[in-house]
Amino acid sequence: MPKAKVYITLKPALLDAQGRVLQSALQQLGFESVQGVRVGKYLEVELAPNGDPHEQVEAMCQKLLANPVIEQYRYEIEP
Amino acid sequence: MPKAKVYITLKPALLDAQGRVLQSALQQLGFESVQGVRVGKYLEVELAPNGDPHEQVEAMCQKLLANPVIEQYRYEIEP
Q: Measuring CA to CA, which residue among A40, A75, A46, A71 is closest to residue B26?
A: A46
Distance between A37 CA and the closest CA of chain B, angstroms: 5
Q: What is the ipTM of this complex?
A: 0.90
What DSSP line would sit under A21-69, residue for residue? Answer: HHHHHHHHTT-TTEEEEEEEEEEEEEE-SSS-HHHHHHHHIIIII--TT
B63, HSE (Cβ side, Cα atoms, 13 Å):
14
Q: What percent of chain B has a predicted confidence (pLDDT) above 90? A: 95
Q: Are B43 and B6 in contact (CB under 8 A)?
A: yes
pLDDT digits (tens, 9 = 90+) for A29-39: 999 999 999 99
Identify the closest residue of chain B to A60 by CA–CA distance.
B26
Is there a contact between A1 and B33 if contact means CB atoms under 8 Å apart?
no
SS3 B23: helix
Q: Measuring CA to CA, which residue among B72, B78, B9 is closest to residue B44?
A: B78
**Residue B28, pLDDT above cutoff 90:** yes
Q: Where in the sequence is the domain holding B19, given as residue range(s)?
A: 3-78
Distance between B47 CA and the closest CA of chain A, angstroms: 5
What CATH number corresponds to the domain at position B31? 3.30.1280.10
Question: What's the rounded mean pLDDT across residues B49-61?
Answer: 94
**Residue B50, pLDDT above cutoff 90:** no
pLDDT digits (tens, 9 = 90+) for A16-63: 999 999 999 999 999 999 999 999 999 999 999 988 999 999 999 999
Q: Please count the structural domains in chain A.
A: 1
Is there a contact between A42 and B1 if contact means CB atoms under 8 Å apart?
no
Nearest to B42 among A26, A42, A50 (CB): A42
The secondary structure element, H or E, covering residue A73 is strand A71-78
Distance between B20 CA and the closest CA of chain A, angstroms: 11
Polymer length of chain A: 79
Is there a contact between B33 and A48 if contact means CB atoms under 8 Å apart?
yes
Q: What is the mean pLDDT of chain B?
A: 96
